[in-house]
Structure formats: structure tokens, C-alpha cells
């Protein structure tokens, strides 16, 4: 009999967590929740979960869930993992599929829709634990597996309940994370180092006068990669690929504007840290968050007196300047 663990990460979204626990408690073999909510919200969640059979683990907040993926997966004991967020809701057909346990493949991509039923993307959220090759913990980097995921049918989907966008449409926390993990300059230099023509072209565009360089670079990176993907892989979903390019072009513009707004010395520091993260194979390895005792020691010594993004920044700076990861939170 195939076994499945529901794995959820939570920060102050208790209502969504409880809702998914109720929806899936009879469909999975275990429920594992990694929570980094504020103390009051954590206690509320703990009390709300008492009627259910749930494994609840407390961790410090780091501004986004990905650096704790390894820790969370390590706490599961089933063959398969169903990864779900508090603002996501599985369809009845998807719940039925999980409950039936008739998995013919190791890994599955699931269709995401918005609240109006509009298609967003296919994302791997159901996978076999033994198939995991690597988890970087870097923002927007999916878990790498050794078997190409299969797409589930369109009836088996996940609804993503979006929060109201900010006035600027930019999540500043994400821009902060990107500035430490993926400055655009590293991407361009890497292409140029590998003697790829696009690298030299992008380098020339990036060094044009501001702000034209920002818009042209973003356009070149996103539309160039999408067109390359369509032609090389003979993709038929070119409308979807172009829509993705439009979204990520806007995101990349905001990312570059944020990075360029930093003082020159700060830019150079973050580029150095980004290179170190890449050399380690991702932020999880860089901060040794693949070790349970490190996560647990950091959590024990964390005083909950700062935002997750500030905690993330302090751990990165400690790792860079001390040449070793922190094993207790550096105040």
C-alpha cells in the first residue's frame, strides 16, 4: 500500500492550515506542519489542532518557506509527499486521487488555478520521497527529482487563493531575497564566461544608460529564453510561454530596480554572497539547514523580535563574514 504525507508550511495563516487538515485528514497517512508563526498565532494553531492527529514542528521564520523544505521533508515518514500551502486548496478529484493511492509514477505536476478558475501553471507538488535529488532552498527553485514528473488530469487541480496585491505590485521581501541569491549580474557573467553569445549581448545591454538598460535586459532575458524554449523543444504552448514571459519580465524589472537602488558597496557584498550560495549548491547547504539540529538550535535561540527577512539576512551575513554557518541565532 502506497503511503502519503501531507506537508504544509505555515506563517500566521492558521485558517488555511485547519481547512486543509479537515479536507485531507482521511486521505493521507500523516500530516506534518512546519510552523513559524508569531508566538500568539502558533499557540492558537496548536490548540486548534488538538482534535487531529498532526505532527507540528516549530521553526524560526526566514521570510519564505523554501529554506526549510529539507527540514520539513525530513520529518515525513511516507513514501509520497503532497506539498501544500495554507493559501492553496485541493479539488475533490485531487483529494480522491490521493486517497485511492493508485500512483503509477513517482512524481506529479498539478494544475494550479486562481479563484476564478483561470489557469496559472503546472507545478510539482506530489512526489516520491526517494526520487528527490536536490533541494536548493533558493526562491522559486523547484525540488529536483530523478524522474520527470507526469501531469495529472485537469480535474485534479489546486486553487490558489491570492492575497490582495500591494499598491506597487511588488513583494519587497522577495526582492530582498533575490538580491542575495540571484543578482542579474551573476547570470549575465555566467553566460559570458561560457562564451554564449547571449551573455555578451546582455552584458552590452546591461551597461547601457539607465533606465533603458533595465527594461531591455529584462525583455532580452525573459523573451529570449521563452523563444529559445519554444524553438528548441518544439513547444506548442507558445501563448502560455509568452504570458509567462510578460509576467517574469515585470518581475525581473522590479528585481533589477531594487538591486540598483542599493549602494554600490552593498551590491558588491550581495554579489559575493550570491556566488558563495551558488558554490555551495543553494541556500540550504550554505546555511546548513539540511541538518535538523541546526534548524532546531536556531529556533531555540530565536527571540521572535524581528521579521523573517531580517533573520534570513543576519544568517547570510554571519555565514559570509565568519566563513561558517551559525548554529545559534546571531544577535
Q: Compute the distance between CA of residue 170 and CA of residue 181 in angstroms, rounded to an integer.
A: 17
316 within a domain of the structure (yes/no): no
294 within a domain of the structure (yes/no): no
What is the predicted pLDDT for the residue at 221?
Answer: 82
Residues 59 and 177 in one domain: no
Residues 124 and 223 in one domain: no
Residues 135 and 31 in one domain: yes
Mean pLDDT of 182-211: 81
What is the predicted pLDDT for the residue at 218?
Answer: 86
What is the predicted pLDDT for the residue at 230?
Answer: 64
Residue 51 has pLDDT above 60, yes or no: yes
68 within a domain of the structure (yes/no): yes
331 within a domain of the structure (yes/no): no
Determine the straight-line distance between the first and last CA of the chain, rounded to whole angstroms: 48
Q: Compute the distance between CA of residue 225 and CA of residue 241 in angstroms, rounded to an integer.
A: 10
Residue 49 has pLDDT above 90, yes or no: yes
Residues 88-117 have pLDDT tens digits of: 999 999 999 999 999 999 999 999 998 888
278 within a domain of the structure (yes/no): no
What is the predicted pLDDT for the residue at 79?
Answer: 97
Longest Cα separation, the chain:
62
Residues 122 and 253 in one domain: no
Give the whole-number percent of the chain exceeding pLDDT 70: 92
Q: Which of 36-45, 161-170, 183-192, 210-219 has the highest mean pLDDT?
A: 36-45
Q: Compute the distance between CA of residue 143 and CA of residue 141 in angstroms, rounded to an integer.
A: 7
Question: Of 110, 129, 160, which closes a domain?
Answer: 160
Residues 133 and 14 in one domain: yes
What is the predicted pLDDT for the residue at 237?
Answer: 63
Closest CA to 58 of 30, 85, 39: 39
Residue 228 has pLDDT above 70, yes or no: no
Three cell numbers written together for 42: 502558533
Where does the chain show beta strands of DSSP type E?
4-10, 30-35, 55-58, 80-85, 88-90, 107-113, 119-128, 132-134, 144-145, 150-151, 157-160
What is the predicted pLDDT for the residue at 165?
Answer: 47
Residue 236 has pLDDT above 90, yes or no: no
Q: pTM of the predicted model, to two decimals?
A: 0.90
Band of residue 167 on the pLDDT scale cut at 50, 70, 90:
very low
Band of residue 134 on the pLDDT scale cut at 50, 70, 90:
very high
What is the predicted pLDDT for the residue at 194?
Answer: 73
Residues 128 and 225 in one domain: no
Long-range contact set of residues 288-292: C-beta below 8 Å, sequence gap at least 24: 288/325, 288/327, 289/67, 289/68, 289/70, 289/71, 289/137, 290/70, 290/71, 290/135, 292/71, 292/74
What is the predicted pLDDT for the residue at 238?
Answer: 66
Question: Of 267, 282, 313, which closes a domain?
Answer: 267
3-class SS of residue 244: helix
3-state helix, strand, coil in the chain (%, to 5): 50, 15, 35
Helices (H) and strands (E) in the chain, counts: 13, 11
Residues 129 and 197 in one domain: no
The answer to whether 240 and 226 are in contact (CB under 8 A) is no
Question: Of 160, 183, 211, which closes a domain?
Answer: 160
The answer to whether 59 and 299 are in contact (CB under 8 A) is yes
Residues 150 and 195 in one domain: no
| 57 bridge partner residues | 34
128 within a domain of the structure (yes/no): yes
Residues 24 and 125 in one domain: yes
Residues 205 and 86 in one domain: no
- Domain with residue 54: its CATH number is 3.90.550.10
Residues 248-292 have pLDDT tens digits of: 888 999 999 999 999 999 999 999 999 999 999 999 999 999 999
Residues 144 and 22 in one domain: yes
Band of residue 168 on the pLDDT scale cut at 50, 70, 90:
very low
Residues 215 and 151 in one domain: no
Question: Domain range for residue 110?
Answer: 4-160
Give how many domains the chain has, as a whole number.
2
Mean pLDDT of 62-82: 98
Residue 169 has pLDDT above 60, yes or no: no
80 within a domain of the structure (yes/no): yes
The answer to whether 114 and 120 are in contact (CB under 8 A) is yes
291 within a domain of the structure (yes/no): no
Closest CA to 314 of 38, 6, 84, 302: 302
Amino acid at each position: 500500500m502506497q503511503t502519503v504525507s501531507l506537508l504544509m508550511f505555515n506563517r500566521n495563516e492558521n485558517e488555511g492550515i485547519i481547512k486543509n487538515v479537515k479536507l485531507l485528514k482521511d486521505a493521507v497517512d500523516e500530516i506534518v506542519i512546519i510552523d513559524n508563526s508569531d508566538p500568539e498565532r502558533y499557540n492558537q494553531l496548536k490548540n486548534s489542532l488538538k482534535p487531529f492527529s498532526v505532527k507540528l514542528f516549530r521553526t524560526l521564520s526566514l521570510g519564505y518557506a523554501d529554506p526549510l523544505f529539507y527540514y520539513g521533508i525530513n520529518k515525513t515518514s511516507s513514501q509520497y509527499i503532497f506539498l501544500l500551502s495554507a493559501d492553496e486548496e485541493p479539488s475533490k478529484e485531487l483529494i480522491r486521487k490521493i486517497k485511492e493511492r493508485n500512483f503509477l509514477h513517482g512524481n506529479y505536476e498539478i494544475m494550479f488555478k486562481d479563484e476564478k478558475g483561470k489557469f496559472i501553471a503546472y507545478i510539482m507538488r506530489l512526489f516520491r520521497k526517494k526520487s528527490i535529488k536536490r533541494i536548493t532552498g533558493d526562491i522559486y527553485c523547484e525540488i529536483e527529482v530523478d524522474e520527470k514528473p507526469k501531469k495529472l488530469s485537469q480535474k485534479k487541480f489546486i486553487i490558489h487563493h491570492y492575497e490582495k496585491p500591494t499598491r506597487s505590485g511588488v513583494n519587497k521581501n522577495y526582492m530582498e531575497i533575490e538580491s542575495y541569491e540571484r543578482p542579474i549580474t551573476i547570470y549575465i557573467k555566467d553566460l559570458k564566461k561560457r562564451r554564449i553569445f547571449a551573455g555578451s549581448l546582455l552584458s552590452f545591454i546591461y551597461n547601457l544608460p539607465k533606465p533603458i538598460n533595465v527594461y531591455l535586459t529584462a525583455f532580452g532575458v525573459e523573451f529570449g529564453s521563452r523563444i529559445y524554449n519554444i524553438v528548441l523543444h518544439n513547444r506548442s504552448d507558445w501563448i502560455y510561454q509568452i504570458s509567462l514571459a510578460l509576467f517574469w519580465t515585470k518581475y525581473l524589472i522590479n528585481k533589477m530596480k531594487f538591486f540598483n537602488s542599493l549602494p554600490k558597496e552593498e551590491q558588491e557584498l550581495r554579489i559575493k554572497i550570491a556566488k558563495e550560495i551558488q558554490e555551495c549548491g543553494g541556500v540550504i547547504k550554505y546555511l546548513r539547514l539540511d541538518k535538523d539540529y541546526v534548524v532546531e538550535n536556531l529556533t531555540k535561540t530565536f527571540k521572535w523580535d524581528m521579521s523573517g527577512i531580517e533573520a534570513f539576512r543576519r544568517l547570510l551575513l554571519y555565514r559570509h563574514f565568519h566563513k561558517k554557518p551559525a548554529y545559534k541565532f546571531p544577535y
